[in-house]
Structure 1
Amino acid sequence: MNKLISVIIPSYNVQEYICDCIDSILSENLENLEIIVVDDGSKDRTVDIVREKYPDIKLITQKNQGPSKARKVGLEKSKGEYILFIDSDDYVEKNYIRELYEEIRKTDSDIVVSPVKYYDGVDYIEVEEKKYDNETLEAESYLLDIFKGQHITSCSNKIYKKNILMGEIFLEKVKHGEDCYTLIKALLNSKHISFIKKTSYIYRKNLNSLTNRKRIPIEDYEVVYNSLEKELKKNKELEKNIYIFKYNFLYILIRSKSIFSKRVLFDKEYRKIYFNYLEDIKNGFIDGTFGNTEKEKSMIEFRKKGVILSELFRLITRLRKREKRKYGKN
């Protein structure tokens, strides 16, 4: 007997992409599937499109409260024994859900992970992540590799047993970086994970998204980091790796999202937390001795240099501005 799969789609102002997302799911023609769209207060035609084109899909609307709240509401309304989260401006390759489902049934894992490809409207680029020889892996081992920056921290390219998503799995107070918290909480509730290799989750690099159009509030990331740090300190083995987690969390969730516009360097709130973390590097808490292989060590060393170079850039910029003011130049 096929067990029910629930696909939860949080949506917000995605009238251009919502059909691509839903159609990619429906193309699999799975009978044991429910799709739940939770609209987070869209101001465009997203809700109208779902109502008109997909009358059989469960649609829930709420005022704008962020993706975590939308995922939580969707989970509460879901009836499936297995859960997938798919972002509404993304889509999946053919047989994606089928392969995840077959793998989780075959291995009895708590989570199954798929590859991710970025799509910019022209090209598809597969995200490089650490590969494993074994079919299944202890969840803690995967979590430690996340700390080392060897995996993306999205909660979307996975299928979960519903029972590991119970409890305080969502951070409703924030709207950015919240999926990292959900993923790590799910991993802390898990024993084993496994992987599929053929089909991929397609992450659309939407240049009109909130993340790309507006300054990402650093307060959100502070909440996410502090919340995760409390969870990790409950586990002695994971607590040993707290600094490598701290550094890669900064690198992945702050620096990589803002480096193109130099927001880290020019925004007071960004600089405050950015250079607090830099102090850890200067004080020797984070250095090239972390990691089990030479590749890992060199990766961390390279990132450390990148942070320090960014600080030098900031100081040079300040000097230039001071000189311009001194000589009355615009």
Structure 2
Amino acid sequence: MPVSTQNRHDVVGEEQPLVSVIIPAYNCAAYIREAIDSVLAQDYPALEVIVIDDGSTDGTGAVLASYGKQIRLLSQENRGCAAARNAGIAHAQGRYVAFLDGDDVWRPDKICLQLAAMRRSGHAMSYSRFIVWRPDADGGYPSAERMFGEDGAAHVSDCVLLTGDTYDALLLDCIVWTSTVMVEREVLIEAGGFDESLQLGEDYELWLRLSRRLTMLGIDEPTALYRQHPASLTRSARAINYEYLVLKRALETWGGGASGGSAAIEKRLAGSAFNHGYAHYRHGDARIGAASFLLCLRHGHRRTKSLLLLLACAGRAMLDRG
């Protein structure tokens, strides 16, 4: 999708502030080159590309080394996405920071489009819709060019897109997707960056925190491809339900917002507990599954299914102990 004439005039015909692109990379040798190349192909010239190798044990390091001075490469022991992104923020020199996950891809005019929209609106942070990038039956992915054309139209995310106060909507769904975010670096520094105690949901927690500090600009045009992996559906469930943890912390700190309503929030918490329990019912620890279904029941939703699955998990846990 070529950038519009207006967008190009706004960012090329005026001052071009440096944008720092931060890419955490962990064991993504199969995809990281496509991600980096999509940044280097941007039609906005004032970019620095910071890639953080978060202790990869596959061929990721060799792929990153092949870029030489085209990227700034940071390496650290495996500490997770939050620590990797925070390291990138600490080294960033741009006025703006944009994030890209190591297996995702940007459209060629992403920075130009987003920066122009932020200049026109005056917002310090923006995010956009994205395209869900699914593999075919053989595990291959359609080309990014095809997906950013007409072929991707049917796969554009349909989550709520808001401009302004996003806190209430974020309580009910993580409407901000990290690979589409651009934000002023000083805003990130003042907010304290990502919470490194969270192994998952660290981006969700930061967007909730930032929503209490500023209004956000939602851009309707998709600017990135979100790569889905076939193995993700069968990946081992985590012991901690980080989504539930992040939501509870937000509610305890800032309350339930104005428009979500207690019933909607209870349903959201119940859904998070149910999904965590079901993941453990299928591929994890039956005891954790039982505890999650019990939590779902306490929130008053999915009573019959939760009770049945709670009993199934409890029975399996007893057999495992016996």
TM-score (norm 2): 0.77
1:216 counterpart = 2:231: no
Q: Give the match's secondary structure for 1:36.
A: strand
Cα distance, 1:52–1:96 mapped onto 2, change above 3 Å: same
1:144 CA drift (Å)? 0.9
- One-letter identity of the residue aligned with 2:309: R
Query: Which residue, out of 135, 138, 157, partners 1:127?
Result: 157
Cα distance, 1:68–1:256 mapped onto 2, change above 3 Å: same
Is this contact kept in 2: 1:8–1:83, CA < 8 A?
Answer: yes
How do 1:1-330 and structure 2 match up within 5 A?
A: 1-122=15-136, 124=152, 125-131=155-161, 137-139=163-165, 142-149=166-173, 151-165=174-188, 166-190=190-214, 192-208=215-231, 213-218=235-240, 220-221=242-243, 223-233=245-255, 237=257, 241=261, 244-245=264-265, 247-249=267-269, 251=271, 255-256=274-275, 259=278, 262-263=281-282, 267-281=286-300, 304=301, 307-314=302-309, 317=312
For structure 1, the 5+ residue unaligned runs are 282-303, 326-330
1:207 CA drift (Å)? 3.2
1:256 CA drift (Å)? 4.9
Q: Give the match's secondary structure for 1:103.
A: helix
Q: Give the match's secondary structure for 1:28.
A: coil
Partner of 2:139: none
Once superposed, what is the RMSD of the aligned Cα atoms? 3.1
Q: Give the match's secondary structure for 1:156.
A: helix
Is this contact kept in 1: 2:237–2:276, CA < 8 A?
Answer: no
Is this contact kept in 1: 2:104–2:226, CA < 8 A?
Answer: yes
Partner of 2:12: none
1:38 CA drift (Å)? 0.9
CA–CA distance in 1 between the matches of 2:49 and 2:240?
33
CA–CA distance in 2 between the matches of 1:239 and 1:169?
27
Is this contact kept in 1: 2:277–2:291, CA < 8 A?
Answer: no
CA–CA distance in 1 between the matches of 2:242 and 2:44?
37
1:244 CA drift (Å)? 3.8
Cα distance, 1:258–1:29 mapped onto 2, change above 3 Å: farther
1:180 CA drift (Å)? 0.7
Is this contact kept in 1: 2:278–2:289, CA < 8 A?
Answer: no
1:118 CA drift (Å)? 1.2
For structure 2, the 5+ residue unaligned runs are 1-14, 137-141, 143-151
Is this contact kept in 1: 2:132–2:227, CA < 8 A?
Answer: yes
CA–CA distance in 2 between the matches of 1:205 and 1:113?
20
1:264 CA drift (Å)? 8.6
1:230 CA drift (Å)? 3.7
1:255 CA drift (Å)? 4.7
Q: Give the match's secondary structure for 1:16.
A: coil
Q: Give the match's secondary structure for 2:90.
A: helix
- One-letter identity of the residue aligned with 2:194: F
Q: Give the match's secondary structure for 1:34.
A: strand
- One-letter identity of the residue aligned with 2:121: T
Is this contact kept in 1: 2:96–2:182, CA < 8 A?
Answer: yes
Is this contact kept in 2: 1:5–1:80, CA < 8 A?
Answer: yes
Cα distance, 1:249–1:11 mapped onto 2, change above 3 Å: farther
Q: What percentage of aligned pairs have identical amino acids? A: 21
CA–CA distance in 1 between the matches of 2:210 and 2:187?
6
TM-score (norm 1): 0.75
